[in-house]
Structure 1
């Protein structure tokens, strides 16, 4: 064998390794480290659960996961937008509960599902605007303001419903189509979640509105000096959150067949915040993505369903969600390089 032939072999190996490394780096750059880690975690979780119980892979169970994540999934999408802006909305679950009750009660009174749905969306819009006005003109921290409104909206839902489920929408064709209908074999609930996620992603990624939201969350002083009306954006985003919370309330009503003041909406705000943080939304604002949140929503849905399929006590689900939120925030702090509170620099 000639010298040129023997030298070509290691060069070919190096070129192949270089191409392989280049492809991997391009993949990481395209998808993102956060999203790749979520995909790997999802694959491992699905493999683990499926190996313990084959019923997990049944089509009916997989569709059940999709319908279960739809309600908190839409709230996680808008929670991501609020976090990108540098805020937080802890009242989304209570808004969903309130609008759920109102949609069912007005449907019963007016015998019209369209009026009930429109009323829920309008009420959600008003609640979101109220949150934004309190934050801006009351000069109240977003966490405190929405924490207070969480209690207020929950109390209002219990007052007008007497603390009980209201109405019955199971016989209405529109509510039935939303809650149990399918399109192309996929439940309508999942389509609504995906459409809201896609629309929000497009706005954030490809419009000036999205770029301004990232700018406000990243550096509000610089954003203000560049001419961005921060107050208008904050009120507008919280109004958008309210509308989507109204949609979540309608989905909740359609899925359960009645207006749910508390039981169906309890803990939705924790699920939404956990999914947004797990998906890479930095709680200080300016960083995050909708695809990451969607992956995190699916991961949480698989985890919750998997624990149920494996017969694990349902109370452990909240423990797991809380632990995931803590882990997500710790990872964010480590990656940002911020000094831990109480530790020397």
Structure 2
């Protein structure tokens, strides 16, 4: 009875504060709503009709979502990694490596690997995509082996992989500029109506699959158990090393899908700079979405919301003319603030 009275006494503000503190998904959704309102106000309402305004608003959002779909997919994988108690700093370099393999396979020039064996067209694209996904999964698996078998801390293992993957890729790709066949671009550029929204569809579809995995499968539950208390999980019969290996292999698989989307959307890849900062954006999206950096806690939907917050913030900073270097500072503040909000004692 006393608790009910306290709840009624607090009214809406008390209820809101309680939800804000106790439900990361709720607080992330509110923050996203605020960002959507700011984005709408920034675009303004100086249009001849509501229809013209709505078209402009829709186009703006489609551009934001399409440009961030690739990083959004990586953020989904980062959620699993952080929930398991780990971290992956090599996602940008893994993206470059898998992108390079993909482009070498489908290259329409004289050096194209599949072309040299007489494989072209849709079948060649399918083979190239499958091999790229396998290669990305393999690179993620290598990191998993270093962490589980080599007993190397995730930060060090992924930091080393980040340097190795990008450096080796740059070495082998120097002076080589693969040509991506135009039909391959349809993977991301295929229009539905008047909009190129395939990357957005891929992102949301993968998010739905991973949400199911996290909530309805043994692997999802074991990932949470390992991140919450590794020793307790091991004593309860969970093969901790196998779970971690699967998590990093999954991360590599998702990065390879992101690489495929980027190559098919842009038609090229800058092997020196592509993917740089993706680890920061992915970690920021996961943490802002309520994933605990100490492991054992996180929601895929929260990461999707977190990625949208980061994407809208980047767009707003660009519209306001904030210098590029300072934009990274804003991301840093958001990550630090999100982690602080996870500490009950500071709020």
Q: TM-score range with shorter-chain normalisation?
A: 0.7 to 0.9
- For 1:253 and 1:264, the matched residues in 2 are separated by 11
* Counterpart among 222, 225, 228 of residue 238 in structure 2: 228
Q: Secondary structure at the match of 2:81?
A: helix
**Number of the residue aligned with 1:75:** 74
1:37 equivalent to 2:27? Answer yes
- For 1:146 and 1:182, the matched residues in 2 are separated by 37
Report the structure number with the largest CA radius of gyration: 1
Q: Is the 8 A contact 2:91 2:275 kept in 1?
A: no
Q: Secondary structure at the match of 1:282?
A: coil
The alignment's C-alpha RMSD in Å is 2.5
Shift of 1:94: 0.9
1:275-286 equivalence runs, <5 A = 275-286=285-296
1:69-110 superposed Cα distances (whole Å, 9 cap, x missing partner): 111101100100011111111111110111112111211112
Q: Is the 8 A contact 1:53 1:309 kept in 2?
A: no
Unmatched runs of 5 consecutive residues or more in structure 1: 1-13, 339-345
Shift of 1:114: 2.2
- For 2:62 and 2:157, the matched residues in 1 are separated by 37
**Number of the residue aligned with 1:52:** 42
Q: Secondary structure at the match of 1:140?
A: coil
- For 2:87 and 2:215, the matched residues in 1 are separated by 20
1:215-274 superposed Cα distances (whole Å, 9 cap, x missing partner): 111111111111011111111111111111111111111121113323331110111111
Q: How many residues align?
A: 313
Q: Is the 8 A contact 1:224 1:230 kept in 2?
A: yes
1:307 equivalent to 2:317? Answer yes
**Number of the residue aligned with 2:117:** none
Q: Is the 8 A contact 2:102 2:132 kept in 1?
A: yes
* Counterpart among 135, 139, 147 of residue 151 in structure 2: 139
- For 1:183 and 1:219, the matched residues in 2 are separated by 46
Unmatched runs of 5 consecutive residues or more in structure 2: 46-52, 115-119
Compared with structure 1, are the counterparts of its residues 320 and 107 closer, same or farther at alpha carbon in structure 2 (3 Å cutoff)? Answer: same
Q: Secondary structure at the match of 1:286?
A: coil
- For 2:100 and 2:270, the matched residues in 1 are separated by 6
- For 1:163 and 1:154, the matched residues in 2 are separated by 15
- For 2:187 and 2:326, the matched residues in 1 are separated by 30
**Number of the residue aligned with 1:89:** 88
**Number of the residue aligned with 1:122:** 134
- For 1:168 and 1:141, the matched residues in 2 are separated by 39
